[in-house]
Amino acid sequence: MNNIAPYAADPAHSIGRRYPEPAPTYRTEFQRDRDRVIHAKAFRRLEYKTQVFVNHEGDLYRTRLTHSLEVAQIARTVARSMGLNEDLTEAIALSHDLGHTPFGHAGQDELNACMKASGGFEHNLQSLRVVDVLEDSYADFPGINLTFETREGILKHCALKHATALGDVGTRFLNKTQPTLEAQLTNLADEIAYNNHDIEDGLRSGLITLEQLQDVPVFAVEYQAVRQQYPDLQGRRLIRETLRRVIGCMVVDLIESSRAAISASGVQTLAEVRAQPVALMRYSDTMRQQKNVLKTFLRENLYFHPTVYRMTWRAQKVVRALFEAYMQDTRLLTPKYQAFAKRYEAENGEAGRARAIADFIAGMTDRYAMREYGQLFDLAGLR
Protein backbone atom coordinates (compact mmCIF):
# COMPACT_ATOMS: atom_id res chain seq x y z
CA MET A 1 0.00 0.00 0.00
CA ASN A 2 1.23 3.47 -0.83
CA ASN A 3 1.24 6.66 1.20
CA ILE A 4 0.49 5.24 4.60
CA ALA A 5 -0.54 8.03 6.97
CA PRO A 6 1.56 8.40 10.14
CA TYR A 7 -1.58 7.93 12.27
CA ALA A 8 -2.72 4.73 10.49
CA ALA A 9 -2.79 1.49 12.51
CA ASP A 10 0.50 -0.33 11.91
CA PRO A 11 0.39 -4.15 11.96
CA ALA A 12 4.05 -4.23 13.03
CA HIS A 13 3.07 -2.32 16.18
CA SER A 14 -0.16 -4.10 17.02
CA ILE A 15 -1.00 -4.19 20.71
CA GLY A 16 -1.14 -7.94 20.14
CA ARG A 17 -3.28 -11.05 20.55
CA ARG A 18 -4.77 -12.50 23.72
CA TYR A 19 -2.67 -15.62 23.19
CA PRO A 20 0.75 -14.63 21.82
CA GLU A 21 1.65 -16.31 18.52
CA PRO A 22 4.69 -16.20 16.22
CA ALA A 23 4.36 -13.54 13.50
CA PRO A 24 2.95 -14.77 10.18
CA THR A 25 5.53 -15.44 7.46
CA TYR A 26 4.11 -13.74 4.40
CA ARG A 27 1.18 -11.77 5.80
CA THR A 28 0.80 -8.88 8.19
CA GLU A 29 -0.99 -9.40 11.51
CA PHE A 30 -4.10 -7.64 10.17
CA GLN A 31 -4.12 -9.73 6.99
CA ARG A 32 -4.09 -12.80 9.17
CA ASP A 33 -7.04 -11.45 11.13
CA ARG A 34 -9.00 -10.86 7.94
CA ASP A 35 -8.21 -14.38 6.70
CA ARG A 36 -9.24 -15.96 10.00
CA VAL A 37 -12.59 -14.17 9.87
CA ILE A 38 -13.27 -15.46 6.36
CA HIS A 39 -12.47 -19.02 7.46
CA ALA A 40 -14.75 -18.79 10.52
CA LYS A 41 -17.96 -20.84 10.74
CA ALA A 42 -19.79 -17.78 12.01
CA PHE A 43 -18.84 -15.95 8.81
CA ARG A 44 -20.38 -18.63 6.58
CA ARG A 45 -23.56 -18.51 8.66
CA LEU A 46 -24.04 -14.85 7.74
CA GLU A 47 -25.29 -16.05 4.35
CA TYR A 48 -28.45 -17.37 5.97
CA LYS A 49 -29.15 -14.59 8.43
CA THR A 50 -31.67 -11.81 7.97
CA GLN A 51 -30.66 -8.26 7.31
CA VAL A 52 -34.18 -6.79 7.08
CA PHE A 53 -35.93 -9.46 5.04
CA VAL A 54 -35.90 -13.10 6.07
CA ASN A 55 -33.52 -15.08 3.95
CA HIS A 56 -36.10 -17.12 2.03
CA GLU A 57 -38.29 -14.13 1.09
CA GLY A 58 -36.33 -13.51 -2.10
CA ASP A 59 -32.96 -14.32 -3.60
CA LEU A 60 -32.03 -10.72 -4.31
CA TYR A 61 -32.42 -9.24 -0.85
CA ARG A 62 -29.35 -8.51 1.22
CA THR A 63 -28.29 -11.02 3.80
CA ARG A 64 -25.85 -10.34 6.64
CA LEU A 65 -23.13 -11.75 4.40
CA THR A 66 -23.72 -9.48 1.42
CA HIS A 67 -24.22 -6.58 3.83
CA SER A 68 -20.82 -7.28 5.41
CA LEU A 69 -19.19 -7.44 1.96
CA GLU A 70 -20.72 -4.08 1.00
CA VAL A 71 -19.47 -2.57 4.26
CA ALA A 72 -15.97 -3.94 3.57
CA GLN A 73 -15.99 -2.54 0.06
CA ILE A 74 -17.04 0.97 1.12
CA ALA A 75 -14.70 0.95 4.12
CA ARG A 76 -11.70 -0.09 2.01
CA THR A 77 -12.28 2.77 -0.40
CA VAL A 78 -12.24 5.23 2.48
CA ALA A 79 -9.21 3.60 4.11
CA ARG A 80 -7.14 3.53 0.93
CA SER A 81 -7.92 7.09 -0.04
CA MET A 82 -6.91 8.31 3.42
CA GLY A 83 -3.72 6.27 3.78
CA LEU A 84 -5.23 4.08 6.52
CA ASN A 85 -4.75 0.35 6.94
CA GLU A 86 -6.98 -1.52 4.48
CA ASP A 87 -6.44 -4.97 5.97
CA LEU A 88 -7.51 -3.91 9.45
CA THR A 89 -10.48 -2.06 7.98
CA GLU A 90 -11.54 -5.15 6.06
CA ALA A 91 -11.06 -7.46 9.06
CA ILE A 92 -13.34 -5.25 11.17
CA ALA A 93 -15.94 -4.87 8.41
CA LEU A 94 -16.18 -8.60 7.73
CA SER A 95 -16.47 -9.50 11.42
CA HIS A 96 -18.64 -6.65 12.72
CA ASP A 97 -21.91 -8.62 12.45
CA LEU A 98 -20.73 -12.11 13.42
CA GLY A 99 -22.72 -12.00 16.65
CA HIS A 100 -26.09 -11.27 15.06
CA THR A 101 -28.95 -13.57 15.95
CA PRO A 102 -31.27 -15.11 13.36
CA PHE A 103 -34.10 -12.79 12.19
CA GLY A 104 -32.18 -9.53 12.48
CA HIS A 105 -33.02 -7.02 15.18
CA ALA A 106 -36.24 -8.81 16.06
CA GLY A 107 -34.20 -11.85 17.09
CA GLN A 108 -31.70 -9.82 19.06
CA ASP A 109 -34.36 -7.86 20.94
CA GLU A 110 -36.22 -11.00 21.94
CA LEU A 111 -33.05 -12.80 23.01
CA ASN A 112 -32.13 -9.73 25.05
CA ALA A 113 -35.55 -9.89 26.72
CA CYS A 114 -35.09 -13.61 27.44
CA MET A 115 -31.68 -12.85 28.97
CA LYS A 116 -32.91 -9.95 31.09
CA ALA A 117 -32.17 -11.63 34.42
CA SER A 118 -28.95 -13.21 33.11
CA GLY A 119 -26.88 -10.26 31.92
CA GLY A 120 -28.78 -9.42 28.72
CA PHE A 121 -27.82 -10.00 25.09
CA GLU A 122 -26.21 -7.50 22.75
CA HIS A 123 -25.04 -8.38 19.22
CA ASN A 124 -21.91 -6.24 19.44
CA LEU A 125 -20.70 -8.01 22.55
CA GLN A 126 -21.69 -11.28 20.95
CA SER A 127 -19.55 -10.59 17.85
CA LEU A 128 -16.60 -10.22 20.19
CA ARG A 129 -17.61 -13.39 22.03
CA VAL A 130 -17.68 -15.29 18.73
CA VAL A 131 -14.10 -14.35 17.86
CA ASP A 132 -12.80 -14.63 21.44
CA VAL A 133 -14.58 -17.75 22.67
CA LEU A 134 -17.11 -19.50 20.47
CA GLU A 135 -15.18 -20.34 17.30
CA ASP A 136 -13.26 -23.56 17.91
CA SER A 137 -10.93 -24.36 15.05
CA TYR A 138 -7.45 -23.81 16.42
CA ALA A 139 -5.41 -26.15 18.60
CA ASP A 140 -3.74 -23.57 20.81
CA PHE A 141 -6.55 -21.21 21.80
CA PRO A 142 -10.31 -20.77 21.94
CA GLY A 143 -11.85 -18.36 19.43
CA ILE A 144 -9.78 -17.08 16.50
CA ASN A 145 -7.38 -15.01 18.61
CA LEU A 146 -7.58 -11.73 16.68
CA THR A 147 -5.41 -8.69 17.34
CA PHE A 148 -6.48 -6.06 19.84
CA GLU A 149 -7.12 -3.58 17.01
CA THR A 150 -9.65 -5.81 15.21
CA ARG A 151 -11.36 -6.75 18.48
CA GLU A 152 -11.57 -3.11 19.47
CA GLY A 153 -13.15 -2.30 16.09
CA ILE A 154 -15.75 -5.06 16.51
CA LEU A 155 -16.82 -3.57 19.84
CA LYS A 156 -18.41 -0.45 18.37
CA HIS A 157 -20.27 0.48 21.48
CA CYS A 158 -20.60 -1.00 24.92
CA ALA A 159 -22.60 -0.12 28.02
CA LEU A 160 -20.42 1.04 30.90
CA LYS A 161 -21.67 -1.84 33.04
CA HIS A 162 -19.99 -4.29 30.62
CA ALA A 163 -16.86 -2.24 29.95
CA THR A 164 -14.93 -3.24 33.08
CA ALA A 165 -15.56 -6.96 32.59
CA LEU A 166 -14.32 -6.75 28.98
CA GLY A 167 -10.81 -5.75 30.05
CA ASP A 168 -8.51 -4.27 27.37
CA VAL A 169 -11.12 -3.52 24.68
CA GLY A 170 -13.55 -2.14 27.27
CA THR A 171 -11.13 0.44 28.65
CA ARG A 172 -11.79 3.13 26.07
CA PHE A 173 -15.45 3.37 27.07
CA LEU A 174 -14.38 4.08 30.64
CA ASN A 175 -11.58 6.49 29.68
CA LYS A 176 -13.61 8.13 26.90
CA THR A 177 -10.80 7.69 24.38
CA GLN A 178 -11.13 6.81 20.67
CA PRO A 179 -10.39 3.64 18.72
CA THR A 180 -8.23 3.59 15.54
CA LEU A 181 -9.42 5.63 12.55
CA GLU A 182 -9.91 2.27 10.79
CA ALA A 183 -12.47 1.28 13.46
CA GLN A 184 -14.15 4.69 13.31
CA LEU A 185 -14.53 4.63 9.54
CA THR A 186 -15.84 1.06 9.41
CA ASN A 187 -18.59 2.06 11.80
CA LEU A 188 -19.66 4.83 9.40
CA ALA A 189 -19.26 2.60 6.33
CA ASP A 190 -21.71 0.19 8.00
CA GLU A 191 -24.28 2.96 8.10
CA ILE A 192 -23.69 4.03 4.50
CA ALA A 193 -24.12 0.44 3.37
CA TYR A 194 -27.35 -0.34 5.20
CA ASN A 195 -29.04 3.00 4.62
CA ASN A 196 -28.61 2.56 0.88
CA HIS A 197 -29.24 -1.14 0.51
CA ASP A 198 -32.29 -0.97 2.76
CA ILE A 199 -33.76 1.63 0.39
CA GLU A 200 -33.11 -0.67 -2.55
CA ASP A 201 -34.51 -3.76 -0.81
CA GLY A 202 -37.43 -1.72 0.54
CA LEU A 203 -38.32 -0.54 -2.97
CA ARG A 204 -37.90 -4.05 -4.37
CA SER A 205 -40.31 -5.41 -1.78
CA GLY A 206 -42.85 -2.69 -2.53
CA LEU A 207 -43.03 -1.72 1.15
CA ILE A 208 -41.72 1.76 0.38
CA THR A 209 -42.18 3.80 -2.77
CA LEU A 210 -40.18 6.27 -4.87
CA GLU A 211 -42.87 8.83 -4.19
CA GLN A 212 -42.32 8.61 -0.42
CA LEU A 213 -38.58 8.94 -0.93
CA GLN A 214 -39.03 12.39 -2.45
CA ASP A 215 -39.26 13.58 1.18
CA VAL A 216 -35.71 12.37 1.81
CA PRO A 217 -33.42 15.12 0.45
CA VAL A 218 -30.24 13.06 0.06
CA PHE A 219 -32.15 10.63 -2.18
CA ALA A 220 -34.46 13.11 -3.90
CA VAL A 221 -31.67 15.40 -5.15
CA GLU A 222 -29.78 12.56 -6.83
CA TYR A 223 -33.00 11.02 -8.16
CA GLN A 224 -34.01 14.28 -9.86
CA ALA A 225 -30.51 14.69 -11.30
CA VAL A 226 -30.64 11.20 -12.82
CA ARG A 227 -34.14 11.81 -14.22
CA GLN A 228 -32.95 14.98 -15.85
CA GLN A 229 -29.85 13.41 -17.35
CA TYR A 230 -31.60 10.17 -18.44
CA PRO A 231 -35.31 10.99 -18.98
CA ASP A 232 -36.01 7.49 -20.35
CA LEU A 233 -34.37 5.55 -17.57
CA GLN A 234 -36.81 3.48 -15.52
CA GLY A 235 -37.29 0.76 -12.94
CA ARG A 236 -34.38 -0.95 -11.21
CA ARG A 237 -31.79 0.83 -13.34
CA LEU A 238 -33.09 4.24 -12.32
CA ILE A 239 -33.01 3.21 -8.66
CA ARG A 240 -29.53 1.73 -8.87
CA GLU A 241 -28.16 4.75 -10.73
CA THR A 242 -29.60 7.00 -8.02
CA LEU A 243 -28.28 4.91 -5.15
CA ARG A 244 -24.76 4.62 -6.53
CA ARG A 245 -24.71 8.41 -6.54
CA VAL A 246 -26.06 8.66 -3.00
CA ILE A 247 -23.38 6.22 -1.81
CA GLY A 248 -20.78 8.24 -3.72
CA CYS A 249 -21.90 11.52 -2.10
CA MET A 250 -21.78 10.01 1.39
CA VAL A 251 -18.37 8.44 0.87
CA VAL A 252 -16.86 11.62 -0.60
CA ASP A 253 -18.37 13.71 2.19
CA LEU A 254 -16.98 11.30 4.79
CA ILE A 255 -13.48 11.35 3.28
CA GLU A 256 -13.33 15.12 2.89
CA SER A 257 -14.87 16.03 6.25
CA SER A 258 -12.62 13.52 8.05
CA ARG A 259 -9.50 14.78 6.27
CA ALA A 260 -10.38 18.31 7.36
CA ALA A 261 -11.01 17.20 10.95
CA ILE A 262 -7.72 15.30 11.08
CA SER A 263 -5.80 18.22 9.71
CA ALA A 264 -7.50 20.71 12.06
CA SER A 265 -6.72 18.45 15.04
CA GLY A 266 -3.03 18.31 14.13
CA VAL A 267 -2.77 14.59 15.08
CA GLN A 268 0.43 12.93 13.90
CA THR A 269 0.29 9.56 15.61
CA LEU A 270 -2.21 6.86 16.48
CA ALA A 271 -1.68 7.68 20.17
CA GLU A 272 -2.89 11.20 19.44
CA VAL A 273 -5.90 9.87 17.50
CA ARG A 274 -6.82 7.78 20.55
CA ALA A 275 -6.47 10.72 22.91
CA GLN A 276 -8.94 12.90 20.98
CA PRO A 277 -12.13 13.78 22.87
CA VAL A 278 -14.26 12.86 19.82
CA ALA A 279 -13.98 10.67 16.73
CA LEU A 280 -12.14 12.33 13.82
CA MET A 281 -13.91 10.27 11.15
CA ARG A 282 -17.12 12.16 10.50
CA TYR A 283 -19.57 13.62 7.98
CA SER A 284 -20.14 17.32 7.41
CA ASP A 285 -22.98 18.77 9.48
CA THR A 286 -25.22 18.92 6.41
CA MET A 287 -24.62 15.30 5.48
CA ARG A 288 -25.08 14.12 9.05
CA GLN A 289 -28.42 15.88 9.17
CA GLN A 290 -29.51 14.45 5.81
CA LYS A 291 -28.40 10.98 6.85
CA ASN A 292 -30.49 11.26 9.99
CA VAL A 293 -33.56 12.16 7.93
CA LEU A 294 -32.95 9.05 5.84
CA LYS A 295 -32.53 6.86 8.92
CA THR A 296 -35.74 8.17 10.43
CA PHE A 297 -37.53 7.54 7.14
CA LEU A 298 -36.37 3.94 7.04
CA ARG A 299 -37.31 3.35 10.65
CA GLU A 300 -40.80 4.75 10.29
CA ASN A 301 -41.62 3.38 6.86
CA LEU A 302 -39.67 0.16 6.46
CA TYR A 303 -38.43 -1.32 9.74
CA PHE A 304 -41.82 -0.70 11.41
CA HIS A 305 -43.91 -1.51 8.34
CA PRO A 306 -46.84 -3.82 9.22
CA THR A 307 -45.51 -6.54 6.91
CA VAL A 308 -42.07 -6.41 8.50
CA TYR A 309 -43.77 -6.36 11.89
CA ARG A 310 -45.50 -9.67 11.15
CA MET A 311 -42.09 -11.18 10.52
CA THR A 312 -40.79 -9.57 13.71
CA TRP A 313 -43.66 -11.04 15.69
CA ARG A 314 -43.06 -14.55 14.37
CA ALA A 315 -39.31 -14.26 14.94
CA GLN A 316 -39.89 -13.26 18.54
CA LYS A 317 -42.14 -16.24 19.05
CA VAL A 318 -39.55 -18.65 17.65
CA VAL A 319 -36.68 -17.24 19.71
CA ARG A 320 -38.73 -17.12 22.92
CA ALA A 321 -40.06 -20.65 22.49
CA LEU A 322 -36.62 -22.13 21.78
CA PHE A 323 -35.08 -20.29 24.71
CA GLU A 324 -37.73 -21.49 27.13
CA ALA A 325 -37.59 -25.07 25.91
CA TYR A 326 -33.80 -25.27 26.29
CA MET A 327 -33.93 -23.61 29.71
CA GLN A 328 -36.43 -26.22 30.83
CA ASP A 329 -34.45 -29.12 29.46
CA THR A 330 -30.86 -28.73 28.29
CA ARG A 331 -30.95 -32.23 26.77
CA LEU A 332 -32.62 -30.57 23.78
CA LEU A 333 -29.34 -28.77 23.02
CA THR A 334 -26.63 -30.24 20.80
CA PRO A 335 -23.96 -32.18 22.74
CA LYS A 336 -21.52 -29.29 22.40
CA TYR A 337 -23.93 -26.79 23.94
CA GLN A 338 -25.06 -29.28 26.58
CA ALA A 339 -21.45 -29.35 27.72
CA PHE A 340 -21.26 -25.54 27.68
CA ALA A 341 -24.53 -25.27 29.62
CA LYS A 342 -23.21 -27.67 32.24
CA ARG A 343 -19.90 -25.86 32.57
CA TYR A 344 -21.35 -22.34 32.71
CA GLU A 345 -24.05 -23.43 35.12
CA ALA A 346 -21.42 -24.82 37.47
CA GLU A 347 -19.67 -21.44 37.32
CA ASN A 348 -22.63 -19.11 37.38
CA GLY A 349 -25.86 -20.94 38.15
CA GLU A 350 -28.97 -20.33 36.09
CA ALA A 351 -27.47 -17.25 34.41
CA GLY A 352 -24.64 -19.48 33.19
CA ARG A 353 -27.06 -21.97 31.69
CA ALA A 354 -28.93 -19.09 30.03
CA ARG A 355 -25.67 -17.78 28.52
CA ALA A 356 -24.89 -21.11 26.85
CA ILE A 357 -28.42 -21.18 25.43
CA ALA A 358 -28.12 -17.59 24.18
CA ASP A 359 -24.83 -18.55 22.47
CA PHE A 360 -26.55 -21.49 20.78
CA ILE A 361 -29.56 -19.48 19.61
CA ALA A 362 -27.46 -16.49 18.48
CA GLY A 363 -25.39 -18.82 16.32
CA MET A 364 -28.43 -20.16 14.46
CA THR A 365 -29.26 -19.14 10.92
CA ASP A 366 -32.87 -18.16 10.14
CA ARG A 367 -33.60 -21.50 8.55
CA TYR A 368 -31.93 -23.52 11.32
CA ALA A 369 -34.02 -21.71 13.94
CA MET A 370 -37.24 -22.32 11.97
CA ARG A 371 -36.42 -25.98 11.42
CA GLU A 372 -35.60 -26.44 15.10
CA TYR A 373 -38.86 -24.73 16.07
CA GLY A 374 -40.75 -27.01 13.66
CA GLN A 375 -39.09 -30.11 15.09
CA LEU A 376 -39.79 -29.19 18.71
CA PHE A 377 -43.26 -27.73 18.44
CA ASP A 378 -44.97 -28.84 15.23
CA LEU A 379 -46.43 -32.05 16.59
CA ALA A 380 -48.71 -32.39 13.56
CA GLY A 381 -45.59 -33.32 11.59
CA LEU A 382 -45.14 -36.46 13.71
CA ARG A 383 -46.29 -39.80 12.44
Among 90, 97, 132, 359, binds Mg ion (CB under 5 A): 97
CA distances for 140 relative to 23, 136, 166, angstroms: 15, 10, 21
Given the rule CB under 5 A, which of 95-103, 111-119, 234-242, 296-304 is the region that contacts Mg ion?
Answer: 95-103
Given the rule CB under 5 A, which of 90-98, 120-128, 209-217, 269-277 is the region that contacts Mg ion?
Answer: 90-98
3-state secondary structure 195-241: HHHHHHHHHHHCCCCHHHHCCCHHHHHHHHHHHHHCCCCCHHHHHHH
- Identify the helix (H) or strand (E) that includes residue 316: helix 306-328
Q: How far is the CB of 191 from Mg ion (least distance, A)?
A: 8
In DSSP notation, 354-368 reads HHHHHHHHHH--HHH
Q: How far is the CB of 179 from Mg ion (least distance, A)?
A: 16
Given the rule CB under 5 A, which of 184-192, 261-269, 277-285, 324-332 is the region that contacts Mg ion?
Answer: 184-192
Cα–Cα distance for residue pair 105/312, rounded to 1 Å: 8
Cα–Cα distance for residue pair 70/217, rounded to 1 Å: 23
- 29 or 366, CB closer to Mg ion? 366
Given the rule CB under 5 A, which of 94-102, 231-239, 323-331, 363-371 is the region that contacts Mg ion?
Answer: 94-102
Q: How far is the CB of 50 from Mg ion (least distance, A)?
A: 12
**Which amino acid is present at 141?**
F
Q: How far is the CB of 97 from Mg ion (least distance, A)?
A: 5
Any bridge partners for residue 50, and if so which? 63
Binding string to Mg ion for residues 141 to 180, with x set by CB under 5 A, is what?
----------------------------------------
- 86 or 190, CB closer to Mg ion? 190
- 64 or 305, CB closer to Mg ion? 64
Among 29, 110, 190, 201, binds Mg ion (CB under 5 A): 190
Cα–Cα distance for residue pair 188/250, rounded to 1 Å: 10
Cβ-Cβ contacts under 8 Å for 52 (sequence gap 6 or more): 61, 62, 104, 198, 201, 202, 302, 303, 308
- 97 or 110, CB closer to Mg ion? 97
CA distances for 50 relative to 55, 97, 229, 370, angstroms: 6, 11, 36, 13
Given the rule CB under 5 A, which of 82-90, 174-182, 188-196, 364-372 is the region that contacts Mg ion?
Answer: 188-196
Cα–Cα distance for residue pair 34/17, rounded to 1 Å: 14
Binding string to Mg ion for residues 290 to 309, with x set by CB under 5 A, is what?
--------------------
Residue number with the smallest Cβ distance to Mg ion: 190
- 29 or 182, CB closer to Mg ion? 182
Q: How far is the CB of 298 from Mg ion (least distance, A)?
A: 14
Q: How far is the CB of 278 from Mg ion (least distance, A)?
A: 22
Cα–Cα distance for residue pair 123/51, rounded to 1 Å: 13
Task: Report which of 307, 283, 306, 313 is spatially closest to residue 295, judged by C-alpha positions.
Answer: 283
Size of the site for Mg ion (CB under 5 A): 2
Q: How far is the CB of 64 from Mg ion (least distance, A)?
A: 8
* 337 contacts 327 by C-beta, under 8 angstroms: no
Under the binding rule (CB under 5 A), the answer on residue 201 touching Mg ion is no
- 5 or 91, CB closer to Mg ion? 91
Q: How far is the CB of 190 from Mg ion (least distance, A)?
A: 4
The beta-strand segments (E) located in the chain are: none
Cα–Cα distance for residue pair 196/116, rounded to 1 Å: 33
- For CA atoms 27, 31, 33, 34, give the dihedral sign: negative
Q: How far is the CB of 68 from Mg ion (least distance, A)?
A: 7
- 11 or 104, CB closer to Mg ion? 104
Q: How far is the CB of 92 from Mg ion (least distance, A)?
A: 11
- 29 or 97, CB closer to Mg ion? 97
User: Site residues (CB under 5 A) for Mg ion?
Assistant: 97, 190
